[in-house]
């Protein structure tokens, strides 16, 4: 047997047992790992973002925890291995090359925008020059750890995905 991972939703009182991706038989048959929640949507109560391998690529779904129904919200490429999700929408896409040696990060501020390259780095080099840290307070804004401006120490900055620009430095430490 091939091991699989699934998520089930249940109310605190034990009622309302629901298998997520209910009604999506082809996804349930073809995607072995449906056990990773990337986001609990603030935009729509009762929805979570879950990645699934479909048609040889990693796709992101918004899944209703009450009905189990899944709606696609982003489609990856053959090298996509994870997502950054903000308020129920994919804002970052992480791809790896075929040899598994280079990570490319793509971003977009809204679902209507096309994916834009943000950074790429070799996995063997240790810490990347640019790393996602957290969601920002506004849509399309995130926080990143970066050596922005050639600094020898990394700091945390606001980052605008629509403009692909750094905002203010929000944190730094003399030892890092």
Q: For residue 28, give the H/E element and its range.
A: helix 25-30
CB 67 within 8 A of CB 22: yes
Q: Pick the closest to residue 46 from 20, 26, 25, 28 (CA basis).
A: 20
Residue at token pair 């997502």:
83
* DSSP 8-state symbol, 168: E
pLDDT for 149 equals 77
DSSP tag of 123: G
- Residue 127: per-residue pLDDT: 64
Cα separation, 28 vs 24, in Å, equals: 6
The whole-number pLDDT of residue 42 equals 65
Give pLDDT, residue 51: 95
Say what the pLDDT of residue 1 is: 65
Question: What confidence score (pLDDT) does residue 28 get?
Answer: 87
Question: Cα–Cα distance between 131 and 56 in angstroms, integer?
Answer: 26
If you search the block for the tokens 């040889």, which residue do you land on? 56
pLDDT score for 43? 62
Q: Are 72 and 61 in contact (CB under 8 A)?
A: yes
Q: How much is the pLDDT for 176?
A: 65
SS3 assignment, position 150: helix
Mean pLDDT, 10 residues at a time, over the chain (176 residues)?
Answer: 84 91 87 88 82 92 94 95 92 94 93 93 73 88 87 89 92 77
* pTM assigned to the model: 0.84
pLDDT at position 44: 74
């Amino acid at each position: 047997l091939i091991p699989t991972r699934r998520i089930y939703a249940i109310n605190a009182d034990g009622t309302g047992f629901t298998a997520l991706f209910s009604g999506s038989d082809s996804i349930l048959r073809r995607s072995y790992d449906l056990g990773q929640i990337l986001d609990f949507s603030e935009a729509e109560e009762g929805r979570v973002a879950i990645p699934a391998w479909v048609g040889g690529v990693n796709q992101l779904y918004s899944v209703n925890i009450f009905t189990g129904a899944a709606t696609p919200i982003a489609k990856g490429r053959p090298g996509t291995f994870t997502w950054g999700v903000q308020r129920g929408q994919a804002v970052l896409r992480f791809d790896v090359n075929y040899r598994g040696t280079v990570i490319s990060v793509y971003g977009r501020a809204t679902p209507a925008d096309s994916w834009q390259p943000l950074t790429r780095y070799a996995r063997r080099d240790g810490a990347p020059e640019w790393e996602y840290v957290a969601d920002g307070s506004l849509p399309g804004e995130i926080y990143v750890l970066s050596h922005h401006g050639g600094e020898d120490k990394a700091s945390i900055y606001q980052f605008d995905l629509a403009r692909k620009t750094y905002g203010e430095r929000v944190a730094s430490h003399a030892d890092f």
